[in-house]
Structure 1
């Protein structure tokens, strides 16, 4: 893959990319890191550096739910009111686990991209350092009116995945992060991944950086909830995401039937883009061409694709707000 590395190096230098790139295909595995995990101390990113991946970890929540479904503790048709005891005065009683997983529940989102341009706006009235558990998110949306009818068209929704995380906690008896650590990360061999608190990060964890309007950089510690949650924010090493996908597709996290159900397209988002229980996928002539995971937060940029036909997996983790897509697209242009 020497030619691939040379061409990725070129684009990485052009865009001042900071992060780690991991590529796995029939020719082998390549991992390359760029930039700094700590700019002030000039500590470089390495292959085992841990990065926040924002919404890229919604798939962990989906798998946790599917595991509990296989145990008979909940079902895709279980309603929100059957699972949780919290008061949602305006929520439709017909909202199901299926609706929440597929972003078709119509519940109001605590970060509505139609109304807010900047994620940092959320923490003016509710300081981010108060958000340390899933229930801490509830005041941000539980008393709001429905955004759309249940079962309506796809509308990306973070609050729905907070509710799914609360369901995991209710029916499993575990704190959500502890459940995922035990039943997903450990099973998949993801030794460098976890749900961490931003004011207590472990070693080898990259700070997320936001470019300031006047030049220079600041960390994202005042831009995100202090602890990652069931809608996003887990920290992973790039190679851990490849290990995770191997564990998933080799049926080590779920049964084969449930894995197939998790990975199938369900809701059409765009012409050839669908959403299932496990993120986005490109579908052409009723065949899944590639699976897509992505995540964006201030100071966080993550992209992942897997091509089932060729077993090509590309993981790009960045500790800046931009750059992951550009690197991913260049690798796709070279290898596809």
Structure 2
């Protein structure tokens, strides 16, 4: 039977196609650690950049499910006097759907790769992000339109910590990674990566350690593997992480066209039939797309910045064009 053949030109990372309990194809290329000469493998952990937002949204919805928050809870109610420029009517749902209108510390409508305004080593916990988030005027009234907002998802992490009494990384582990059996996933320090984790590299060959927060938060910094991402999608849609009604909220197309023909739900991009998490930053590229009808996941994780979104889309379309039930 004809084998799948993805576009791997210039790729450095892992590309995976899994359906149910089957691995339909996996390819690993390049080095996870150039100094030590360690190759990427299908078990290598990679940074997810903004793919983390999907986990943040699921965590927030889990708190909604137990009544600690509601979609209508205002950020101000939880923040108190912190971040005073966030408008009083901004809700959890506005933050989840990128319709809050709050000013963004890393505004991708201006420059998504701009240097951070504080030394990255100071960003070692979610509360440490508060000075970075402060001082940005409102861009537009809450609910007016979609505008992708990194800072909004860190605000969600701050709120989740406060209402749960649990550090955000631990909260995601307890509420997402553990029920999904994502044993290789977490929020490692960038200056103390665990074995089996890819180092991110910039185009000049240097690592990304001086470009990204030392510990991630609600908008980025989680690390995972292609296997764990497939487990995540399957557990999510089986109702093992949050209740089915909350899953419906997560994947509901709130914004029909958020740009490039993509719809957006609450922490999930909707690309045709694919539920999609995606992220890109200095030395990080991550896309995982899942077809719920066939339980097929196509993931592309890289430790360099390389075009991945279109590649995973083309590979998923190639899978759909075949009878892949017998592929292995």
Regarding TM over 0.5, the answer is: yes
Spell out structure 1 runs of 4+ moving beyond 3 A.
Answer: none
Q: Partner residue of 1:3?
A: 3
Shift of the alpha carbon at 1:299? 0.3
- Could you list the runs of 5+ residues in structure 1 that have no partner in the other structure? 284-288
Q: Deviations over 1:175-223 (max 9, x none)?
A: 00011112211111111110011111111010001112xxxx1111111
- TM-score normalised over the length of structure 1: 0.90
User: Out of 164, 168, 177, which is 1:172 matched to?
Assistant: 164
Q: Partner residue of 1:151?
A: 143
1:3 counterpart SS class = coil
Q: Partner residue of 2:90?
A: 95
Shift of the alpha carbon at 1:311? 2.6
Distance 2:109 2:255 in 1: 20
CA RMSD of aligned residues (A): 1.8
Q: Partner residue of 2:324?
A: none
Does structure 1 conserve the Cα–Cα contact (< 8 Å) formed by 2:48 and 2:221?
yes
Pairing 1:24–2:18 present: yes
1:211 counterpart SS class = coil
Q: Partner residue of 1:142?
A: 134
Pairing 1:279–2:276 present: no
- Could you list the runs of 5+ residues in structure 2 that have no partner in the other structure? 321-328
Considering fraction of residues, name the structure with more helix: 1
Quick one: structure 1 residues 89 and 168, their matched pair in 2 at CA, closer, same or farther if it must change by over 3 Å?
closer
Q: Deviations over 1:125-152 (max 9, x none)?
A: 4111111111222222322210111111
Pairing 1:75–2:70 present: yes
Q: Partner residue of 1:114?
A: 109
Aligned residues: 318
Q: Deviations over 1:87-115 (max 9, x none)?
A: 33322110000000000000011011233
Q: Partner residue of 2:325?
A: none
Q: Partner residue of 1:84?
A: 79
Pairing 1:185–2:185 present: no
2:202 counterpart SS class = strand
Does structure 1 conserve the Cα–Cα contact (< 8 Å) formed by 2:56 and 2:267?
no
Q: Partner residue of 1:286?
A: none
Distance 1:22 1:106 in 2: 36
